[in-house]
Amino acid sequence: MALLYTHHYDLSFSALNLKKFGSSHLQPICCLRCNSSVSSSPFTEKHSLQRYQRDQWVYNNNNQQRPSLSCDDEAASCSVPADSDSIRLNDITLQLPELRKLLQVLKHKRESCGGQVPKNGLGDVFLVGTGPGDPDLLTLKAVKVIQKADLLLYDRLVSNAVLDLVGPDARLLYVGKTAGYHSRTQEEIHELLLSFAEAGATVVRLKGGDPLVFGRGGEEMDFLQQQGIQVKVIPGITAASGISAELGIPLTHRGIANSVRFLTGHSRKGGTDPLFVAENAADPDSTLVVYMGLSTLPSLAEKLIHHGLPPDTPATAVERGTTPQQRMVFAELKDLADKIKTAELVSPTLIIIGKVVALSPFWPQSLTEASRLVAV
């Protein structure tokens, strides 16, 4: 059943209960010290230099208070202060004046266009999938929409190379989430989309991979449609397809894998154990693809083996797949978690489990193993 939202923030974000932080407690982000060890990330990492450069417009009303970065030219990601929630609320507080100003500009633009806008005066919202990172994997339709947008709300896993395609007059706003730090709650993202669509803007919601595969695009579409906003979805190449193709792994293969299953490695707070499917998923004739599964892989592998999947099932873990920073490890299922730990892979990492992994040219003894599998 769809969830009905009957309130909205109107860019006041009253639900954040900012009043409980008296003005003396709202200290702006003054300096973010960057960690150069992760400077090679192709994505927007937490309080990164790229993020504040792209989103600089939204701090223009706070020239004396906006974030300044104590970073060298190569630094790309910064450590998050201990009280991440206060930092998040401070950041939103600094952004509100410019967000409100942009709303007024867009409303004026709509009114001055006269008959060139829909009778109801509402803008369109596009949910756009940007693929796993390589900008060459974008669809032509996605590129066209990205280049004509008024405002783009982008996630952490929209690569820097994709964001370089944004039109010069568009406004970018980071709404990414990482473990332990959400720059915006999902409800706040809903309200941003709604407020700017109501102002007649062309709003693009950029998501890594495909917006309707573990991307919460369905929730955003449902919310907006209930508010009378037209939503158009532009699919993207999901990580499973893009990364498996990069590695030469067919997700299905006659005589080896007759189905493929996508799993998520974690659930929403208070939700069902994400590993509850392990029993049904332990099918040696199927390929398993696990999104967001770094932390839960040891438990998942144990459950899969317990329910009958052979311990020597070929498997791989791929970090930052399809980007120049791609790293990968190959191992049998029973050893994969240890291999990942040794290689110190970080998020985003996609995990593929199944006999088809041995068909990859990167699999050790790939020619011998592939010949054996095809002959079976």
- In order along its 376 residues, the chain shows pLDDT tens digits of 333 333 334 444 333 333 333 333 333 333 333 343 345 789 887 667 777 778 777 777 654 444 544 444 333 344 444 456 666 677 777 777 777 878 777 777 766 665 455 546 788 999 999 999 999 999 999 999 999 999 999 999 999 999 999 998 899 999 988 776 778 888 999 999 999 999 889 999 999 999 999 989 999 999 999 999 999 999 999 999 999 999 999 999 999 999 999 998 876 555 556 566 677 789 999 999 999 999 999 999 999 999 999 999 999 999 999 999 999 999 999 999 999 999 999 999 999 999 999 999 999 875 555 556 555 5
Number of domains in the chain: 2
Q: Are residues 233 and 246 in the same domain?
A: no
Of 209, 237, 265, which one is at a domain's C-terminal end? 237
Q: Are residues 171 and 187 in the same domain?
A: yes
Q: Are residues 127 and 186 in the same domain?
A: yes
Please tell me the distance from the alpha carbon of residue 215 to that of residue 195, in angstroms, as a whole number.
21
Domain CATH number, residue 252: 3.30.950.10
Residues facing residue 31 across a β-bridge: 68
Candidates 292, 303, 328, 355; catalytic one:
292
Phi, psi torsion values for 207, nearest 5 degrees: -130, 140
Q: Which domain holds residue 335?
A: 240-359
Q: Are residues 233 and 129 in the same domain?
A: yes
Residue 280 has a pLDDT of 78
The b-or-e profile of 255-275 (16+ CB within 10 A means b, else e) is: ebbeebbebbbbeeeeeeebb
Say if 220 falls within a structural domain.
yes
Say if 367 falls within a structural domain.
no
Say if 43 falls within a structural domain.
no
Q: Are residues 297 and 355 in the same domain?
A: yes
Of 177, 207, 237, which one is at a domain's C-terminal end? 237
Residue whose C-alpha is closest to residue 313's, from 277, 350, 284, 279: 284
Of 237, 252, 271, which one is at a domain's C-terminal end? 237
Based on the residue annotation, tell me whether 303 is a catalytic residue of this protein.
no
Residue 5 has a pLDDT of 30
Say if 59 falls within a structural domain.
no
At what angle are helices 186-198 and 217-226 packed, to 10 degrees? 40
Residue 23 has a pLDDT of 36
CB 376 within 8 A of CB 356: no
Q: Are residues 166 and 193 in the same domain?
A: yes
Say if 56 falls within a structural domain.
no
Q: Are residues 353 and 342 in the same domain?
A: yes
Based on the residue annotation, tell me whether 341 is a catalytic residue of this protein.
no
Say if 135 falls within a structural domain.
yes
Please tell me the distance from the alpha carbon of residue 285 to that of residue 310, in angstroms, as a whole number.
11
Say if 273 falls within a structural domain.
yes
Say if 310 falls within a structural domain.
yes
Q: Are residues 231 and 248 in the same domain?
A: no
Based on the residue annotation, tell me whether 177 is a catalytic residue of this protein.
yes
Q: Are residues 134 and 223 in the same domain?
A: yes
Q: Are residues 255 and 309 in the same domain?
A: yes
Decide: helix, strand or coil at residue 349.
Answer: strand
Domain CATH number, residue 206: 3.40.1010.10
Helices (H) and strands (E) in the chain, counts: 11, 14
Q: Are residues 201 and 303 in the same domain?
A: no
Candidates 101, 107, 177, 339; catalytic one:
177
What token pair was written down for 191?
Answer: 């309200």
Candidates 150, 155, 221, 303; catalytic one:
155
Please tell me the distance from the alpha carbon of residue 244 to that of residue 288, in angstroms, as a whole number.
12
Residue whose C-alpha is closest to residue 65's, from 29, 119, 16: 29
Q: Are residues 326 and 268 in the same domain?
A: yes
Residues facing residue 67 across a β-bridge: none
